[in-house]
Chains A and B, each alone.
Chain A
Amino acid sequence: MTIFKTFLKILNKNKGIVILYSIILIFFAGFNLQTNDNTMQFEKEKPSIFIINHDPENTFTKEFVTYLKNNSEVVELEETKEAISDALFYRSVNTIIIIPESFGENFRNQKNPEIEIKCTGTYESELTKMMIARYFNVAKVFFSISSTEENFDKIKEIVEKEMKIEMTSKLNTQELKRVANYYNFANYSILAGCVYVICLILSSFKKENIKKRTIISSINEKNYNRILLIANSLFAMLLWFFYCFISFFLIGDIMFTKQGVGCMINSFVFTFCAVTISFFISNVLTNKNAINGVVNVLALGSSFLCGAFVPTELLPESVQKIAHFFPSYYFINNNEKITSLENWSLTNLTPILTNLMILLGFSFIFILFNNFLSKKRRKSS
């Protein structure tokens, strides 16, 4: 109890650090959650065009212009060469369509007249070209059969038929993306919080003379180490619980879904791994002043490399390969996988379970390293 009480007293002395990392998490995660994610929303896009019509009276041309106007944003410009060039250069218009004289008549007579198109070469101008080609292709078919006025209605019906997109997924992708973002960012806070606080506390307990005094006291050394292990693990679990609790506040009901619970379980395993890393570092590190530097390098470095702040897809391939050597990579990768998982079949769960096993594997390796170092140190003394 004395050791545990002292642990709490030292933790209390360092509570500022825990609060700081929590504020960083709440601030950045909260900020991140405010930014909308549009990856799964669809919106019809209209390119901007300017039409110079030298055949305004013809019915076919009129119908064609109406079609263009319905499906584009028509921009008002001066019909001078200079004004048109400027508009294209400054991208205030994507496409200039110049309809020649007698265009409609010639089209109906299947003489294959051509319209002049000037464009910026952007995606929007290509969209306009496709729209025009579509209209002409459909019109050609109808006018090759007959040249009646009824064709216009039929053409209109076909070309203006909108494509229906049905979302088959029932996932609330936008909300789940927020869950993934929060827990990805928690990678930094959990790792930094655990390593910093545990190393700081253990460095006090493992100070050479204090350790000597403890060894010569009547307390069993194994018991002493066990109490320290339990106390540190308890702190880490409280930290994890606190961050999960915050996620309920920041993200809301979505945390009660399978995906939300999955992310919490994933972060629990990661926290366990962070504890083993902390013990390993405290075993290696002898200088208390170096802890801050190590925390920054480890927590910030692995968070950047593994995609906690920037999506991994945006990182160079070489960086992504390096990221595989960090537990954070598997934690973050799992967050993404869990939040996009709809069918919870064993096949779909396998990659997630694999990542969890890798995280546990990392923990096991750190435990082995710890034991090895402790034994070596005991032997050498």
Chain B
Amino acid sequence: MKKIIEIEHLTKEYKEKKAIDDLSFNVYEGEILGLLGPNGSGKSTTINCILSLLNFQKGSIQIFGQEMTPSSYEIKKEIGVVFQEVAVFEELTVYENIDYFCGLYIKNKEQRKQLIEDAIQLVGLEQYKKFYPKQLSGGLLRRLNIACGIAHKPKLIFFDEPTVAVDPQSRNNILSGIETLRKNGATIIYTTHYMEEVEIICDRVMILDHGKIIASGTISELKKLTQIEEKVTVEILGLLEKEINKMKELQNVIDVNYQNGLLIITYKKGENNLPKLMEYFKKNKINYQKIYSERPTLNDVFLELTGKELRD
């Protein structure tokens, strides 16, 4: 596969603190790479370095096979960025805003007109072309923000938490828009705090902590990294401490947690955990209302690898 971004030994230091520590990775054509990490893990610094918004001490960054510098205008032509904060002119309408940002890349008025229409259609803002940003809801503003970043049809797009504080309808719209962009051939780097989004749209995930890659691969590859194989949740009332301790000694059990009538048993790799547990309940005459089993989520992987919740 063709490499779109090649990063080698990237190191960025702020005074004595290393924000990025010897980072090396590639991004391949047509993929959606999810960049995950707790706050301060180096995600934004990495993106800012790639975009030449920040200087760095060591390493090299190549985009489309060429070295990326602040004056690499030919490379920049093919890059689109959607920032977390909405970056639009309050004085301009939806259409005028997209026109301005698209105009920074595309000089031809006719070509631009078509691109603006495509971008508006992609994010579903057809009815709001003449609206001013202050007339839009949070979700619609985010969609406008996206349209401004991708209107020029870039080959490489950075999405920095584009769905923060967005209503479910807008979120679905944004995610399907990103899918469409990928189908149209764009390579996407996507950072978010929402694991379910990563699981839905990302082909590959990279988890950063303290400026280093602590795990990288496809979602199923990452899930294999965790010891957790299965999580069984049981709705059960009046369970005694003695019984909980007994359950901890069951085969393959890593952890038992009982709170507010909900028993969660975490299993490591093993077979027939659920039937064995049901058998145990029957044998010990423990009554329960509901029982179900879950595979480990990306959140479990993240928690196990970083020791933190993604939002910490």
Contact = CB atoms under 8 A, between A and B. Distances in A.
B54 A381 contact: yes
B87 interface: yes
Nearest to A224: B104
A321 interface: no
Main secondary structure of the interface of B (DSSP, over half): loop
B102 to A, nearest CB: 8
B87 A212 contact: yes
Main secondary structure of the interface of A (DSSP, over half): helix
B92 interface: yes
Contact of B85 (A209, A214, A219): A209
Interface residues of A, number: 25
Max chain B Cβ within 10 angstroms of own Cβ: one of A204, A207, A215, A218:
A218
B303 to A, nearest CB: 32
B73 A218 contact: yes
Contacts, number: 73
A204 B89 contact: yes
A154 B164 CA distance: 106
B149 interface: yes
A216 B87 contact: no
B83 interface: yes
Contacts of B83: 209, 212-213
B91 A9 contact: yes
Contacts of A147: none
B53 A204 contact: no
B81 A216 contact: yes
Max chain B Cβ within 10 angstroms of own Cβ: one of A1, A3, A6, A220:
A6
A287 B94 CA distance: 24
A219 to B, nearest CB: 5
Interface of B: 51-54, 70-71, 73-74, 76-77, 79, 81, 83, 85-92, 96, 99-101, 103-105, 107, 148-149
9 contacts: A2-B103, A10-B92, A209-B85, A212-B53, A213-B83, A216-B81, A218-B74, A218-B76, A219-B105
Interface of A: 1-3, 5-6, 9-10, 13-14, 204, 207-210, 212-221, 381
Given A209-B86, A212-B53, A215-B53, 4 more contacts: A3-B100, A204-B90, A216-B79, A218-B76
